[in-house]
A = this chain, B = another copy of it.
């Protein structure tokens, strides 16, 4: 999608669903750190979650997936809807910033444009391993970068709340969905998956209990293979059982660490 395409279509309510935005909180995990991918649109003094509008020809899930793909180059990442946000004041305080943004890119925003009106945000989160990603600026992004979830920059609208709610949802979902497939190397050690869960939940999980519960789900299997990580240290490698993982993704599991 280039600027020209956006220019001609972004106001067009024959193409886009009015009053509805999709925001996708893209979480990146790498080496015990959880980050979130944020954009700063041209002329904005603050940052936003990656987002966009919904074409009438696509589902809200497809719109969210496209947002992730446009910024990361990756498709079909773990994508989960967690909440929608809608109230009369959520974007009101920042209308001047939005107006200035449109001026700065030479687009004229009609005074009664739905862009400035009551806007419902349907929020998703997506997971990826951030060392695998080369982030890409989308049209109108002045900057785009990974930020540690515990140290966010000043955020536009209610986007700090959206990130906080995304993190809370992720921490709940980790008990019910097999999270980790996109966040770990294909073959990983038990300490690696243990660290991942501890990082996301932001708490210490008992080692033996974690392993026992994880293995009881059947979604992870031990390989007849080790990784040498120094003298006398060759931990076994594990991988996801893709068939069981897919079933668990559909039906849900229950992990109580």
Instruction: List the interface of chain A (C-beta within 8 A of B).
Output: 17-20, 54, 56-61, 81, 83-88, 114, 117-118, 120, 122, 168, 172, 175-176, 252, 254, 256
On whether the beta carbons of A172 and B60 are closer than 8 Å, the reply is no
**Which of B60, B118, B176, B254 is close to A17, meaning CB atoms less than 8 Å apart?**
B118
On whether the beta carbons of B120 and A17 are closer than 8 Å, the reply is yes
Report the minimal beta-carbon distance from A93 to chain B, rounded to whole angstroms.
16
**Which of B17, B58, B175 is close to A175, meaning CB atoms less than 8 Å apart?**
B175
- Given contacts A56-B118, A84-B81, A120-B60, whether A252 and B168 have CB atoms under 8 Å apart is yes
Can you list 13 residue pairs at the A/B interface with Cβ under 8 Å? A17-B118, A18-B114, A19-B20, A20-B86, A54-B120, A56-B88, A56-B117, A60-B84, A60-B86, A60-B87, A81-B84, A172-B176, A256-B256
List of 8 A-B pairs having minimum Cβ-Cβ separation, nearest first: A256-B256, A59-B87, A60-B86, A56-B118, A84-B84, A84-B122, A18-B18, A17-B118
Residues of B within 8 A of A60 (CB): 84-87, 120
- Given contacts A81-B83, A172-B176, A176-B172, whether A20 and B120 have CB atoms under 8 Å apart is yes
On whether the beta carbons of B88 and A59 are closer than 8 Å, the reply is yes
On whether the beta carbons of A57 and B88 are closer than 8 Å, the reply is yes
Residues of B within 8 A of A85 (CB): 60
- Given contacts A17-B19, A19-B18, whether A86 and B122 have CB atoms under 8 Å apart is yes
Report the minimal beta-carbon distance from A63 to chain B, rounded to whole angstroms.
8
A147 to B97, CA, bound (A): 49
On whether the beta carbons of A17 and B86 are closer than 8 Å, the reply is yes
A83 to B169, CA, bound (A): 12
Report the minimal beta-carbon distance from A253 to chain B, rounded to whole angstroms.
11
A172 to B58, CA, bound (A): 28
Residues of B within 8 A of A117 (CB): 56
CB nearest to A60 among chain B residues = B86
On whether the beta carbons of A86 and B59 are closer than 8 Å, the reply is yes
- Candidate in A81, A84, A88 with the most chain B CB atoms within 10 angstroms: A84
Residues of B within 8 A of A83 (CB): 81
